[in-house]
Amino acid sequence: MNICVVGTGYVGLVTGTCLAEIGHCVICVDNDKQKIQTLNTGKMPIFEPDLEKLVHQNRKRGNLSFSEDLGQGARKSEVIFICVGTPPLENGEADLSPVEKVTREIAVAADSYKLVVEKSTVPVQTGEYIYRTLQIYCREENGRFDVASNPEFLREGSAVADFFHPDRIVIGVNNRQTEAILHQIYQPILERGFSCPVHSSCSSFPKPYFLVTDIKSAELIKHASNSFLAAKISFINAIAEICEKVGADVQKVAEGMGLDPRIGKEFLKAGLGFGGFCFPKDLQAFVRIAEKVGYDFTLMKEVERINKARIDVAVEKLRKKLWVLREKTIAFLGLAFKPQTDDLRFAPAIGLIRRLRQEGCNIRAFDPQAMEKAVIEIPEIFYGANPYEVAAGAEALVLATEWPEFLDLDWLKMHRAMARPFILDGRNFLNRPLLMEVGFEYEGMGR
Ligand code: UGA
Eight-class DSSP state of 171: E
Res. 405: pLDDT tops 90 = yes
Residue 323 burial (CB count, 10 A): 8
Mean pLDDT value across the chain: 96
Res. 192: pLDDT tops 90 = no
The distance of Cα 86 from the centroid of its chain, to the nearest Å, equals 13
Q: What is the pLDDT of residue 311?
A: 98
Calculate helix-pair angle for 97-109, 126-137, nearest 10 degrees.
40
Determine the Cα–Cα distance for residues 73 and 445; give it in Å rounded to an integer: 49
Beta-bridged to residue 64, according to DSSP, are 26
Q: Which atom of ligand 1 is nearest to the CA of 11?
A: 12
The distance of Cα 193 from the centroid of its chain, to the nearest Å, equals 27
Counting ligand 1 atoms within 8 A of each CB, the residue from 51, 155, 158 with the most, and so the one to mutate, is: 155
Eight-class DSSP state of 208: P
Model pLDDT for residues 119-176, shown as the tens digit of each residue:
999 999 999 999 999 999 998 888 899 999 999 999 999 999 999 999 999 999 999 9
Mean pLDDT of 12-40: 97
Collapsing DSSP states into helix, strand and coil, what is residue 363? strand
Res. 205: pLDDT tops 90 = no
Helix or strand holding residue 433 (H, E): helix 432-438
Eight-class DSSP state of 260: S
Q: What is the pLDDT of residue 203?
A: 79
Res. 324: pLDDT tops 90 = yes
Q: Which atom of ligand 1 is nearest to the CA of 275?
A: 26
Res. 402: pLDDT tops 90 = yes
Q: Which atom of ligand 1 is nearest to the CA of 337?
A: 26
Q: Which atom of ligand 1 is nearest to the CA of 152?
A: 7
Compute the C-alpha angle 102/2/167, nearest 5°.
85
Determine the Cα–Cα distance for residues 217 and 278; give it in Å rounded to an integer: 19
Res. 114: pLDDT tops 90 = yes
Residue nearest to atom 2 of ligand 1 (CA): 155
Q: What is the pLDDT of residue 137?
A: 96
CB 138 within 8 A of CB 108: yes
Residue nearest to atom 31 of ligand 1 (CA): 267
407 CA distance to ligand 1 centroid (A)? 21
Pocket of ligand 1 (CB under 6 A): 121, 152-156, 226, 229, 233, 267-269, 271, 273-276, 278-279, 282, 337-338
Res. 200: pLDDT tops 90 = no
Q: What is the pLDDT of residue 143?
A: 85
Residue 320 burial (CB count, 10 A): 9
Counting ligand 1 atoms within 8 A of each CB, the residue from 86, 278, 343 with the most, and so the one to mutate, is: 278
268 CA distance to ligand 1 centroid (A)? 12
Mean pLDDT of 322-342: 97
Name the pTM for this structure.
0.94
210 CA distance to ligand 1 centroid (A)? 22
Residue nearest to atom 23 of ligand 1 (CA): 274
Q: What is the pLDDT of residue 193?
A: 82
CB 226 within 8 A of CB 277: no
Residue 138 burial (CB count, 10 A): 20
Model pLDDT for residues 244-288, shown as the tens digit of each residue:
999 999 999 999 999 999 999 999 999 999 999 999 999 999 999
Q: What is the pLDDT of residue 195?
A: 86
155 CA distance to ligand 1 centroid (A)? 6
Model pLDDT for residues 99-111, shown as the tens digit of each residue:
999 999 999 999 9
- Residues annotated catalytic, as ranges: 278
Res. 306: pLDDT tops 90 = yes
Mean pLDDT of 67-77: 96
Res. 204: pLDDT tops 90 = no
